[in-house]
Amino acid sequence: MKRTLRTTLLTTGALIAAVCVPATAAPAAADARVDLRVLVVSDGGPATDAIAAELDAAGTPYTEIDLTRADRPVIDPGFLADTVDGRARAKFQAVVLPDDNPFPANSPEMAALAAYERTYDIPQVDAYTYARPEAGLQYPVYGGYSGSVDGVRAQVTDAGRSGPFGYLEGVVPFEDNSPSVGESYAYLSTPMAGADFTPYVEAAIPGTAKRGSLVGEYRHDGRRELVVTFVYNRYQQQFRLLARGIVAWMTGGVHLGASRNYFAVHVDDVFAADDRWNSTLNCTPGDVDCTDPNATPDPIRMTAADVDHAVAWQRERGFTLDLAYNGAGSVDHREDNDGADALADRFVAERDEFRWVNHTYTHAFLGCRQDTTVVPWRCATHADGSVDWVSRDDISDEIADNRVWGEVAGLPVDDGELVTGEHSGLRVLPQQTSDNPHLALALADNGIEWLASDNSRESGGRTVGPATTVPRHPMNVFYNAGRAAEQVDEYNWIYTSRAQGGSGICEDNPDTTTCLPAPLDLATGYTDHIVPLERQIALGHVLANDPKPHFIHQSNLAEDRIAYPVLDGVLAGYATLFAENTPVVNLRMRDIGTELQRRAAWRSAVQAGQVTAYRIGTTLTVEGPDGVAIPATMPEGTTRAGSAFAESYAGDRSGWTTAADAPLTLTLPASAAPSTAPDTAGPVPAGEPAPDTRVPEGVAEPLSPGAGS
């Protein structure tokens, strides 16, 4: 969808009316007020869209202009700068362009931007541009390269690591998901002789011993440009790795918004048993949709040895799992085994090694009462046609009984967190189009503040009575598989066509599911196909500043322990990409919910025009409404009232803070001060328009089918 002038995600309301003055008449940058907002000039391509998405996710304000719209505003000196209270104001702290010059020849708009950038020391990002002298680089035909960079392992240079990309370990792998699809295209070239050009990310130029720049800084004519010569979309790993550094470079590390690399994993059904997939019946005996009279449930349940493995794995990885438990699973097991339950005994002995979440006592379905006489099931109804809902008392008993069982066992449970079985009680389409009306009342009865939901059904959080939902990403490691061959068999059933022996589900739902070209090998399909794909999807969430937890099931930690290769792939892969100053952030559900809630409040405040932020020299001021936390990222050395600001992460200081009854005032280190040299040079030509660049079709975000509950 094409967009005209848009202040996206974070606007500070209408700009203060003032007399506009030409940017070239402004005083030096050190004396001016610079608003903390980015100008994104888009041509509708994937590169500028990706940068805008990064700003969205972090909570950084920006205004977007769509060059394809005839009714867009004109970029002139008055659009870029004015005066406020007698002080010159630069309305944007950085400029993002589709390339180094997307305007026609002799464009007054490009001239205005160039003059604005020189006057106020405003950096410019060329989101994807051709390697050419106007961008500080040789043409690729002179010993460079133009073409695919699929599978290339680029490298952050020493300058990049000591500069904006210091959070990376060094290698930047480019995706190569399909040998038949061109996924990445780049221009690799070396700096022009005499150009003040510093490569930050390079790759080998094929057929030569030289390396060409993919990302570099070009200083010229009193301006600074970040020159990016490869195309990307918002989902590709190479962009996700570099996005933080692009924003850090354009803002000098001073901007509203904050981001982390989050990863949390919930393990559902602990103490209970999960029914096993039947490869002959192609269903799961014990489930409501497996109605074969000869179907006999075959339970999968962890052992004490599996607990020991989980404990050792966590200690080695420095990572904590969240265990969603069902107390009745242990009670039933003891009744069937003369009071013995080695699994529960071992878990209780190691209880402090994990985080624990109430998953209801019996894992009962808490929505409508299910009529399983038909497939798929439907909601049972009363004689008058109204829905027969599970009662408030029944829901409350499931929550309270499990809490009490956990307390008796000594589990360190947060009573405000809840995961219902199958996320039930919440609406489930198509059968149950609304929440169980008794759910909110039962949550209030039990003091529930955070309620898990399925991100594949509802990607946004919402309130349910006193609780706020926390969407969880399902991992495509099935709840009914304890062995790799079972996982592959069910995967083949779902993701192959009827002609190849599958269910045809993928054929019936082409918008959300892609059919495999052929069934996976039962012996190798899990390791060779499923694990790499699930690792890629989960790591993509980690790199996207997405705090939502992932969820698997206790069956996946039993028998073949099939979850660990996926989790190891995420954590080990992450460790090879990021420096020690950028660790994975592993939060429990309450803290994840708080993060999402803060983001929602911040979004509402800024969209209502209640937030103003600017810097003058080394003093930064942010005004916001009482009670709304402010996300901000600042350089190391930034202080608030003499104390270090926020937390250190990825080489900067960042986090949430409140302004209380007065504006938030931060003092930046002297190294973050803008240039103090006045602009005395005359006008500089903006250069010839950039040539058209080849933009191959972007790669779609991988699908993450639900994994059940």
pLDDT for position 4:
37
- Residue 542, Ramachandran bin (φ over 0: left; ψ between -120 and 50: alpha; else beta): alpha
Same domain, 667 and 567: no
Q: Would residue 693 count as lying in a domain?
A: no
What pLDDT digit, counting tens, does each position of 448-480 carry?
999 999 999 999 999 999 999 999 999 999 999
Give the helix ranges, DSSP H, for 121-227.
158-161
Q: Which domain holds residue 20?
A: 6-256
Same domain, 401 and 488: yes
- Report the alpha-carbon distance of residue 299 to residue 481 in Å, rounded: 10
Same domain, 355 and 455: yes
Q: What are phi and psi of 216, to 5 degrees?
A: -160, 165
pLDDT for position 264:
98
Same domain, 228 and 274: no
pLDDT for position 661:
67
Same domain, 242 and 385: no
Q: In what order do the strands lie in the sheet with 81-84?
A: 81-84, 87-90, 33-35, 612-616, 619-623, 664-667, 639-640, 643-644
Q: Would residue 530 count as lying in a domain?
A: yes
Q: E strands along 545-689, which residues?
A: 550-553, 612-616, 619-623, 630-635, 639-640, 643-644, 647-649, 652-657, 664-667
Same domain, 143 and 86: yes
What pLDDT digit, counting tens, does each position of 640-687 carry?
999 999 999 999 999 999 877 679 999 999 988 776 444 445 556 667
Sign of CA dihedral 39, 40, 43, 44: negative
Those residues with Cβ within 8 angstroms of residue 680's Cβ, 6 or more apart along the chain or in another chain: none
pLDDT for position 19:
32
pLDDT for position 7:
41
Domain boundary residue, one of 235, 256, 277: 256
Same domain, 246 and 319: no
Same domain, 539 and 664: no
For residue 69, what are the β-bridge partners? none
- Report the alpha-carbon distance of residue 58 to residue 64 in Å, rounded: 16
Q: Would residue 701 count as lying in a domain?
A: no
pLDDT for position 672:
83
Domain boundary residue, one of 190, 221, 256: 256
Alpha-carbon separation of residue 117 from 114, 163, 422, 674 (angstroms): 5, 21, 54, 12
Residue with tokens 């990403």: 473
Q: Would residue 686 count as lying in a domain?
A: no
- Report the alpha-carbon distance of residue 555 to residue 559 in Å, rounded: 8
Residue 121 near residue 29 (C-beta atoms within 8 A): yes
Same domain, 284 and 251: no
- Report the alpha-carbon distance of residue 73 to residue 94 in Å, rounded: 18
Q: Domain with 117 in it: what CATH number?
A: 3.40.50
Q: Would residue 331 count as lying in a domain?
A: yes
Q: Would residue 481 count as lying in a domain?
A: yes
Exposure string of 133-162, with b = 16+ CB inside 10 Å and e = fewer, is: ebbbbbebeeebbbebbbebebbbbeebbe
Instruction: Please give the tally of structural domains in the chain.
Output: 3
Domain boundary residue, one of 233, 256, 279: 256
Same domain, 221 and 183: yes
Q: Domain with 399 in it: what CATH number?
A: 3.20.20
Same domain, 649 and 523: no
pLDDT for position 707:
40
Q: Would residue 697 count as lying in a domain?
A: no
Same domain, 548 and 662: no
Alpha-carbon separation of residue 343 from 322, 401, 554 (angstroms): 17, 20, 12
Q: Would residue 664 count as lying in a domain?
A: yes
pLDDT for position 181:
86
DSSP class of residue 179? T
Q: Which residues of the chain have pLDDT under 70?
A: 1-30, 661, 675-686, 694-709
